[in-house]
């Protein structure tokens, strides 16, 4: 099938459907609740979350001033509210949150509010703001998170039906949302045998060598690179992996601190 070129200004739509969270933030006596599809986990350790917000949106100002925001996960029954909150701004409509059908309640750790009845909430303090083109990326540090029964380490999707934004209808008059079906495709995990073998060989070589003399990281990396005929970044990966997983430790006199 021939492929068509996609304009840069609409290439982001190739990423749809996008999970849409409702971002809440409060400052002084001002509250806002605004849908954001550009919201994602950024790092596991430390736990960091990102949301990309246009400076034109009122919530941008509240996040800047309060230095905090919450990511609220709502279910499909709240699609209408999410859609309304994405059409109107709190900047000129003081009743925006209420008109959208949301009720806010005190957050657990922030001076902000969260959405009552949200199935999941991640409360974040603002770690930093990164200006990226016409949006700013707010990087939030995990403060606390809580969720309804449906989340048992992962969502079970018995109650939670995520809000998935697909853009506008083709005549551009309506927002359109997709809904997941519960026909999951489950693929068994694959063992990465080549990686496993490389880890085992590295461990063997380092243990043998460490028995003879004190090793430091850079010597270990060079040794593995030579012995296994690997590129230096791959050899670094293996050495650091063993240390990180506590399978190998550099002895006293090592120049490396972990």
Ligand X SMILES: Cc1cc2nc3c(=O)[nH]c(=O)nc-3n(C[C@H](O)[C@H](O)[C@H](O)COP(=O)(O)O)c2cc1C
Cβ of residue 214: shortest distance to ligand X, in angstroms? 52
Is 78 a residue that touches ligand X (CB under 6 A)? Answer: no
Near ligand X by CB under 6 A: residue from 17, 24, 26, 35: 35
What would the x/- binding string for ligand X be over residues 93 to 112, using CB under 6 A? ---x----------------
Which is closer to ligand X, CB of 38 or CB of 219? Answer: 38
Is 175 a residue that touches ligand X (CB under 6 A)? Answer: yes
Is 70 a residue that touches ligand X (CB under 6 A)? Answer: no
Which is closer to ligand X, CB of 53 or CB of 221? Answer: 53
CB 82 within 8 A of CB 176: no
Which is closer to ligand X, CB of 165 or CB of 248? Answer: 165
- Beta-strand pair 104-106/113-115: antiparallel
CA triple 81-82-88, angle to 5 deg: 85
Task: Give CA–CA dist 135/255, Å, rounded.
Answer: 43
Closest to 28 in 3D by CA, of 112, 138, 148, 97: 112
Strand ranges in 48-134 using DSSP code E only, listed in sequence order: 48-53, 68-73, 104-106, 113-115, 120-132
Is 25 a residue that touches ligand X (CB under 6 A)? Answer: no
Torsions phi, psi of 204, nearest 5? -60, -50
Near ligand X by CB under 6 A: residue from 17, 31, 50, 59: 59
Is 36 a residue that touches ligand X (CB under 6 A)? Answer: yes
CA triple 202-205-209, angle to 5 deg: 135
Reduced to 3 states, what is the DSSP secondary structure of residue 147?
strand
Is 88 a residue that touches ligand X (CB under 6 A)? Answer: yes
- Residues binding ligand X: number (CB under 6 A): 24
Is 40 a residue that touches ligand X (CB under 6 A)? Answer: no
Residue showing the smallest CB distance to ligand X in the complex: 86
CA 226 to chain centre: 38
Q: Verify cis geometry, omega within 30 degrees of 0, for the bond prior to 46.
A: yes
Q: Looking only at residues 195 through 254 of this chain, which bind ligand X when binding is defined by CB under 6 A?
A: none
Cβ of residue 180: shortest distance to ligand X, in angstroms? 16
Residues that bind ligand X (CB under 6 A): 20, 32, 34-38, 52-54, 57-59, 83, 86-91, 96, 135, 165, 175
């Amino acid at each position: 099938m021939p492929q068509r070129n996609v304009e840069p200004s609409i290439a982001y739509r190739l990423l749809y459907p996008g999970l849409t969270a409702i971002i809440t933030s409060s400052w002084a006596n001002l509250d806002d609740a605004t849908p954001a599809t550009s919201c994602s986990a950024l790092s596991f350790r430390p736990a960091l979350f990102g949301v990309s917000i246009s400076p034109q949106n009122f919530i941008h100002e509240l996040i800047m001033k309060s230095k905090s925001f919450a990511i609220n996960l709502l279910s499909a029954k709240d699609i209408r509210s999410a859609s309304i909150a994405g059409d109107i701004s709190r900047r000129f409509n003081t009743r925006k949150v209420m008109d959208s059908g949301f009720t806010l309640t005190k957050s657990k750790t922030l001076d902000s509010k969260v959405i009552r009845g949200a199935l999941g909430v991640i409360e974040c303090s603002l770690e930093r703001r990164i200006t990226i083109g016409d949006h700013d990326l707010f990087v939030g540090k995990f403060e606390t998170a809580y969720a309804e029964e449906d989340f048992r380490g992962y969502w079970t999707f018995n109650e939670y039906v995520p809000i998935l934004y697909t853009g506008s209808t083709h005549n551009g008059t309506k927002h359109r949302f997709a809904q997941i079906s519960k026909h999951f495709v489950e693929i068994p995990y694959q063992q990465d045998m080549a990686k496993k073998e490389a880890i085992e060989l590295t461990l063997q070589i380092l243990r043998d060598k460490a028995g003879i003399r004190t090793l430091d990281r850079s010597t270990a990396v060079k040794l593995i690179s030579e012995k296994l005929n690997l590129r230096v970044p791959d050899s670094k990966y293996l050495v650091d992996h063993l240390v990180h997983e506590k399978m190998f430790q550099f002895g006293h006199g090592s120049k490396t601190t972990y």
